[in-house]
Amino acid sequence: MEVAGRSHRGRVCDFSREGVSIRTPFVIPYRDEDSDEALHIRGGWPRRLAVAGSETVLDAKIMTTVSSGRPSDASCNDGVCAMRLPFTGSEEIPADTEILVVVNGFELRRDPRRAVEQIVAVRERIGPGVLLCVLGIAEPSTLSLYAYMGVDLFDDSLARAMGAEGIRLIPEGEMRVGTDATAANLADLEAECAKVGSFTMAGRLRELVDQRAPASPSSVALLRILDRVGYAYQEESCPTVGGRFACNTTQSLRRPDLARYRERLAETFAKPEHKRVLLLLPCSARKPYHTSRSHKAFASAIHTAPHDTLVQEVIVTSPLGAVPRELDVFYPANSYDIPVTGEWKCEEKEMIRRMLADIIAQGYDSIVCHLGDPELTDGLAEMEHTVVGDPVSPVSLRNLDEALRRVTTGMEPPGYYINRRESMRTVLAFQFGRGIADLILDDDTYATGKFPYWKLIREDANDRSKKTQLGMLTPERGMVSLTLEGAAILAEAGAYVVEMTDFEIKGNLFAVGVVDADPRIRIGDEAVIVCNGEIRGVGVAMMSGREMIGLKRGIAVKVRHKVR
Other Cβ atoms closer than 10 A to 111: 16
Say if residue 309's pLDDT is above 80.
yes
For residues 305-317, average pLDDT: 95
Question: What mean pLDDT is predicted for residues 138-150?
Answer: 98
* C-beta separation of 310 from 275 below 8 A: yes
| 103: alpha, beta or left? (left if phi > 0; alpha if psi -120 to 50) | alpha
Distance of CA 250 to the CA centre of its chain: 18
136 neighbors 39 (Cβ within 8 angstroms): no
- Residue 311 Cα distances to 392, 398, 419, 497, angstroms: 19, 17, 10, 36
Write the pLDDT tens digit of every residue in 11-37: 999 999 888 899 999 999 999 887 888
DSSP conformation letters of 170-236: ETTEEEE-SS--HHHHHHHHHHHHHHHHHHHHTT-HHHHHHHHGGGSHHHHHHHHHHHHHTHHHHHT
Question: Residue 61: pLDDT above 80?
Answer: no
Nearest to 553 by CA among 51, 9, 14: 14
**According to the model, what pLDDT value does residue 375 have?**
85
* Helix, strand, or coil (residue 159): helix
Q: Where are the domains of the chain?
A: 2-234, 246-407, 416-562
**Of residues 343 and 491, more confidently modeled:** 491
Per-chain mean pLDDT for the chain: 95
Residues 539-547, mean pLDDT to the nearest whole number: 97
The predicted pLDDT at position 564 comes to 84
What does DSSP assign to residue 96? T
Q: Which CATH architecture has domain 246-407?
A: 3-Layer(aba) Sandwich (3.40)
156-165, 194-203, 241-250: least confidently modelled range: 241-250
63, pLDDT greater than 80:
no
pLDDT at 183: 98
- Alpha-carbon distance of 59 to 101, in angstroms, equals 11
CB-neighbour burial class of residue 470 (10 A; exposed 0-12, middle 13-18, buried 19+): buried
Grade residue 342 by pLDDT with cuts at 50, 70 and 90.
confident
Residue 332: band (very low, low, confident or very high) from pLDDT cuts 50, 70, 90: very high
pLDDT for res 403: 97
Q: Where is average pLDDT lowest: 62-71, 180-189, 495-504? A: 62-71
| Residue 378 burial (C-beta neighbours within 10 Å; 0-12, 13-18, 19+) | exposed
Residue 373 has pLDDT above 90, yes or no: no
Whether the per-residue pLDDT at 39 is higher than 80: the answer is yes
pLDDT at residue 314 is higher than 80: yes
- Sequence-distant (≥ 6) Cβ neighbours of residue 161 within 8 angstroms: none
The confidence score (pLDDT) of residue 89 equals 87
As beta bridge partners, residue 453 has 450
Q: Are strands 311-317 and 277-282 parallel, antiparallel or unpaired?
A: parallel
Question: Which distant-in-sequence residues (6+ apart) come within 8 Å of 525 by Cβ?
Answer: 240, 496, 540, 541
Task: Say how many Å lie between the first and final Cα of the chain, rounded.
Answer: 32
Per CATH, the homologous superfamily of domain 416-562 is PUA domain (2.30.130.10)
Whether 421 contacts 430, CB under 8 Å = no
Name the least confident of 132-136, 157-161, 373-377: 373-377
Instruction: Please check the confidence at residue 62 and state whether its pLDDT lies above 80.
Output: no
CA 429 – CA 417 distance, rounded (Å): 18
| SS3 of residue 530 by DSSP | strand
Q: Are 240 and 6 in contact (CB under 8 A)?
A: no
Half-sphere exposure of residue 469: CA atoms within 13 angstroms, side-chain side: 11
What would the 3-class secondary structure string for 351-418 be? HHHHHHHHHHCCCCCEEEECCCCHHHCCCCCCCEECCCCCCCCHHHHHHHHHHHHHHCCCCCCCCHHH
The rounded percent of the chain whose pLDDT value lies above 70 is 100
CATH of region 2-234: 3.20.20.105
pTM exceeding the 0.75 threshold for the entire prediction:
yes
Summarize the confidence of residues 96-124 as an average pLDDT.
96
Give φ, ψ of 334 to 5 degrees. Answer: -90, 5
Residue 125, phi then psi, degrees to nearest 5: -70, -45
User: What is the rounded distance in angstroms from the CA atom of residue 498 to the CA atom of residue 490?
Assistant: 11
The Cα–Cα gap between 267 and 233 comes to 20
Nearest to 475 by CA among 210, 232, 291, 203: 291
The arithmetic mean of pLDDT across residues 445-456, rounded, is 96
> What per-residue confidence (pLDDT) applies to 150?
98
Which residues, 6 or more positions from 79, have their beta carbon under 8 angstroms from its beta carbon?
Answer: 17, 51, 54, 96, 97, 98, 99
Q: Distance (Å, rounded) from C-alpha 391 to C-alpha 387?
A: 5
Q: What is the pLDDT of residue 115?
A: 97
Asked if residue 167 lies in contact with residue 175, where contact means CB atoms within 8 angstroms, the answer is yes
